[in-house]
Amino acid sequence: MTCDVHLTRVLGLPAVLRGRSQGHVERAVLENDGHALRGLIVRRGFGGAKWVARDSIALLGDVSVILRACPTHLPRKTDFRLRTVKDTRGLTLGCVTDVLISADNLLVSELEVSLGLIDDFRDGRRRIRHFSASPDGDVLVPDACPGLRNSLGREGNAVNKMLIGSAVGLVMGIGLMMLPRVRQDVQKGANKVKKAVQDMSEGQQ
């Protein structure tokens, strides 16, 4: 069964070769078409950054990255990243928050996409499978949000509804707690107005 690896969870993991750490993963770099892992940038202590090509990666594990060969010097142009998600008309739909890589062949299986804070809170972040990438890292989808689906599914919707319900309950609880104080303030204001009216009446008399 193919297992997908979140690239954000690979960051910071030790890169290990024959039982010895070669540094920690600083960044993952994709191919310029956005559909495969190109390699990893690793750094050991205060030393310079090193490069681990895709062919030198034996396993993207949960607690470490297993290497086949020693890291080498950085190649040129390792700053490519997937950033903004747009439709074919150029309309910005969201941004890429994570990349899921197949552990078997290190190809991109899905992108995790945020359509905005409110949408994330309400429905969870989405997943996209079919896309193309521009040289500057824009993710282009065929039409308005095709293939975008709730990455959390029914369980995520239930969690989101629970969170929203908790937030509403919290607000109502705070409102109820403040209600007696609000009543007191209103009563004090009314008493002040009443006293002012009485003083005016006495002054006129």
pTM over 0.85: no
* Phi, psi angle pair for 60, to nearest 5°: -95, 95
The predicted structure's pLDDT at residue 123? 82
Please give the Cα distance from 64 to 60 (Å, whole number): 7
Give residue-wise pLDDT tens across range 31-40: 999 999 999 9
How confident is the model over 74-85, as a mean pLDDT?
A: 89
The predicted structure's pLDDT at residue 24? 95
* Phi, psi angle pair for 70, to nearest 5°: -65, 150
* Percent above pLDDT 70 for the chain: 69
DSSP string, 111-133: EEEE--HHHHHHH--EEE-S-EE
Q: What integer best gives the mean pLDDT of the chain?
A: 80
* Phi, psi angle pair for 154, to nearest 5°: -65, -40
* pLDDT level of residue 181 (50, 70, 90 thresholds): low
Give residue-wise pLDDT tens across range 111-146: 999 988 888 888 888 898 889 998 888 998 886 554
The predicted structure's pLDDT at residue 117? 86
